[in-house]
Each structure stands twice: as C-alpha cells, then as structure tokens.
Amino acid sequence: MLKSDDERSPLHKSLPEVTNELGSHLYLYQILEETPNGVMVVSLDHQVLYANPAANQLLGVGYRDLTDTDLERLLGEENQWFFYQIGQFFDNLAEMDRTKIRHEIEITTGENQRKILDAALIYPPASPAYYLMYLIDITQRKKLEGELRRRNTFFNNLINSSVDGIIAADMNGKLILFNDAALTLLGYLDDASLERLHVTSLYQNGLAYKIIERMRSDEFGGRGKLLYHELSVCHKVGHEIPVRFSGGIIYDKDKEIATFGIFTDLRDIIKIEQDLEQTHNMLMQSEKMAGLGRLAAGVAHEINNPMSGIMLYANLIKEDLGENHTASPDLDTIIHEAERCKVIVADLLEFSHQTRYEMEPIDINEVVQKTLGILSNQPLYHNIKFNLNLAEKLPPTLGNSIRLNQVMMNLMVNAAQAMKGEGTISITSRARAGNDINEILLSDTGPGIEEDLKEKIFEPFFTTKTTGEGTGLGLSVSYAIVKEHQGTIKVSSSPGKGALFTLRFPAVVDTLKGENHEQQHDLTTAGE
C-alpha cells in the first residue's frame, strides 16, 4: 500500500523543493526544459510536482498547468489499467527486483487528437519521496509500423496467392521465404519442415552453384538475373519435378544479401504437350488408316472370290481321292492356307469398315464380362489371374456390343500371348469428367513394349509375332472400332513392367427418347 502523509512526511518534497533541487543543477534543468520527451516528477500520492514543456505539449495541457494535477485524472478512464499497474507496483515494491515499469498508453488531447505515448515509470531508490514519469511520443512510429504491417500483409498475401512457387534464401543458403505454392510443389506440409532445408537440397548434382554462377553472369538476362530456365527441383520424396525457373540476386549497396527463385510447375504443361502430340499422331494414324482401309477393301473383295474357289475345288479333289491318298496332306495344306487367307480377308473387311452396325446405349461392364466369359475357359488363360475392379452404375455408352467385344478380345488375347499364358490381367472401369466419360483400363504383367514400338502398334500389318502367328491387324482394327465409337485408345508401357491400355468412350443419357434415340440407332461404322 502507498504510505500515508505522516509516514512519508520526512521524505516528501514539495514543488518548491523539487524545483530548488533542479535549480541547483542548472544544466540538468536546462536539459529537462529542452528535451523533446516528456518528463514528470510525481509524488507518491500521484500528484504531479513538476512537468517539463514537452510533457505539457504531449498531454495537451497548457504550460505549467500540470502542476498539482492528479495522475489518475490526467491519464483518464481509458488508461485506468495503467494506473492500476502503478498501484500494484508500489504495493509490491518490497518484493520486486525492479524499479521501473513501462507501457504504451493512448491519450486524447484537448484538440481531440489521439496520441500514442510510451510511458515509463522510474522509482529512484535514492529519492523515495517521488517517482519519475517519462513520456515519448510514438504516434508516428506506430502509424509507420501499422503501414509497414499492412504492406507486409499485402505482399505476403500477394506472394502466397501466386500459383508459382517463390523461394528466397540468404547467401549462406538458409531459406528465408517460401510461399504456399512452393510447399505444395515440393511436397511439404508446413513451413517448419522447409525452414530446416538448405537451398542446395532443392536441386541435384550441384545445380544450385551453377544457378548462382549464371545469376552473376551478364549472359542470362543481365547481372543478378536468370530468366526462363527449364530445370528440375527435388520433391520431398526424391523424384524430380520439371520447372521453369526465373530468379536473381538481391543487393544492398552492391553487396549480395539474398537470392530468390520463381518456379513454374511444368508437369501439366508437359502432359498437355504430350497429349497434343499423341492426338496429332492419332490423327495422322487415322488418315493413314483411312487410305489403307480403302485399299484393303478393294484387295479383300478381289481375293475373297478366288480363295473361295480354291477351297471348294481342293475339298472336291480330296473327296475324290479319298483320305488315304498320298496327295491328301498336300490338299490339307492348301485348304488350311486358303482358310488363313479367308481370315485375313475377313480382318481386312473389318479394318475397312465394309459392314454396318446398329449403335445403341450399352453397358461397358457387360461388354467386359461377356468377353471374359468367352475367353476364361480357353487353355491359354488357365494360368492367368484376372483382377476386376468394375465401377457400379456406369452411365451407358452409345455403341455396338459385338464390335466392342472384339476390341476387348483383341486386347486380352495380346496380353495373354505377351505373358505366354502366365501372369495377371487387371481390368478397371470408371466414370470420369463428371460422368461424361467412361474409361476402361486394361493392364498386364508381361514384358512391356519397347519405346520405339509404342507408336507403331496401331499400324496395320505391324506385328512383333513370328511369321504365321498374327496378321498385324488386331490392334489396328481395335483402333478403328474405338474411333468409330467416338472414343480414344492409348498405351503406356515400360520394358519389363507390362503394358496399360486406356480406352475412353463418351457416355450418354440412358433415357434417350423419340427422334434422338432413333437417330443414334442409325449411326454406322461407315463414317456416319
């Protein structure tokens, strides 16, 4: 508690006494009168004994009008908490190991002007009859701090809203700035995990040092800049991410103090470029196959009739000569080879779209299951495991189930032959793009496809099988059927890791009615 008047009367000093003390040290008095910071001498009963001109000005009170003013009234109701802190300070003074307290207060002057003051109370043990109050105007500083804070918030929001990763590091390689896009790009979940990294860990094989060397050069956008470089950065789990990099060095009076980089993720762009290239290749393939189809149709019709005659007369001769005749094996060879020619002719006719098929809404899953039912009991598939992951309630696809059965059969036969009758065939069906696309994924555990062969497998008559084992028309016919259904077929594979075929077909509403339904039934495979 504060001391009573009787208890502190020997030590209490009045205003004349305080003024006399200051007057005895004229140079101290002069300093107090001229200092821009407010200084007040306050008695222990919180009455202002002395205030310099700066204190009067800061508090908006006329010169000398602060004398004998109660400090609590002077601080006002808005700073009652500070006055309470002063009371607590003196109540616990004996137990405290400090002789001052400091707080920021807000004052409204007589001109209704708001000021923020840094108020420091100092209790000098050598003169326990009063305490000193120092006031420093920090209004402008607070305004600048607020403006700086707003600008920092703006720039932080600007940096974090960028879709590109932005990273900065000091010249020792410590990361000092990274936005949300950088965290996502590199696979980190929080700031702390990235803060512990050295900038060189973002690259491989000393690339970080090559980057800063180029920044210091004048050859890549000017001194301190490196513009539009394509390189790779390291993901958290270790794989490389292709990016377009622009960055530079930050200087302070020609002294290098930091580096920064802006990283644009190129994965989606590369994927789009690859898709465009594949689409272009597929278009070229379609044009090539259209020309070959017209040629194949003419050849097939010209060959079909002679082959029928050869088979007819070979069978007649065999009947006339009997089964035990020495020429029977030769006649069997003629008949077998003629039958092979008939199969090739049939494939050519399929390839050239010489037949018409009705199109109707069908269930892709039923096509897959029907094909499996046909093939699964054949000897080639006895040691093959099928993994099915067929989505429930797929939207229907407009198509011909017989034609699509042929596509699935060709793909499964190729997979089984590639695995030599032992392995796993996995088939997945699912809806994509908000149920607008039906997708089928068919993969195997075979030897895969060589990179230079992937672009050729859909070409007519191309085959990797030995002579006599295949015509090379299976995948080209499948390609034509898929295109006929307004779909796409793609293959991805790596040697030794099997092959994955991805088929996509547009879905249709299963409530087709009236003319639209009839028009869809009239679609054919002859380019209609």
Non-local (6+) Cβ contacts of 476 within 8 A are: 289, 351, 458, 459, 460, 461, 462
Indicate the DSSP class of residue 452: G
- What per-residue confidence (pLDDT) applies to 503? 94
- What per-residue confidence (pLDDT) applies to 7? 41
Tokens representing 345 are: 């002719």
- What per-residue confidence (pLDDT) applies to 286? 67
Tokens representing 62 are: 């006329």
Q: ∠ CA 278-464-498 to the nearest 5 degrees?
A: 65
**Chain centroid, CA 419 distance in Å:** 37
Coil/strand/helix, residue 25: coil
- What per-residue confidence (pLDDT) applies to 525? 35
Q: At what angle do helices 267-321 and 474-484 cross, to 10 degrees?
A: 120
- What per-residue confidence (pLDDT) applies to 462? 64
The phi and psi torsions of 313 (rounded to 5 degrees) equal -75, -30
- What per-residue confidence (pLDDT) applies to 514? 40
The phi and psi torsions of 184 (rounded to 5 degrees) equal -65, -45
Cβ atoms 517, 404 nearer than 8 A = no
- What per-residue confidence (pLDDT) applies to 296? 65
The phi and psi torsions of 126 (rounded to 5 degrees) equal -70, -25
Instruction: Kindly write down the DSSP assignment for every residue of 341-378, as one continuous string.
Output: HHHHHHHHHHHTT-S----EEE-HHHHHHHHHHHHTTS
CB atoms within 10 A of CB 76: 14
Number of alpha carbons in the 13 Å side-chain half-sphere of residue 234: 16
Non-local (6+) Cβ contacts of 99 within 8 A are: 122, 123, 124, 125
444, 379, 448, 378: which is closest to 412 by C-alpha?
A: 444
Cβ atoms 502, 440 nearer than 8 A = yes
Helices (H), 92-195: 139-160, 180-186, 191-195
- What per-residue confidence (pLDDT) applies to 504? 94
Cβ atoms 15, 49 nearer than 8 A = yes
Helix (H), strand (E) counts: the chain: 16, 17
Cβ atoms 305, 313 nearer than 8 A = no
CA 161, CA 163: separation in Å to the nearest integer?
6
Element of type H or E holding 102:
strand 100-108
- What per-residue confidence (pLDDT) applies to 356? 59
What does the radius of gyration of the chain's CA atoms come to, in whole angstroms? 45
Domains of the chain: 5-142 (3.30.450.20), 162-265 (3.30.450.20), 267-354 (1.10.287), 356-528 (3.30.565.10)
- pLDDT below 70 — which residues of the chain? 1-25, 63-64, 96-98, 110-111, 126-127, 285-286, 288-302, 340, 343-357, 460-473, 509-528
Report the greatest alpha carbon distance in the chain.
Answer: 152
Please list the residues that pair with 440 across neighbouring strands: 429, 503
CA 448, CA 246: separation in Å to the nearest integer?
39
Tokens representing 69 are: 């003013």
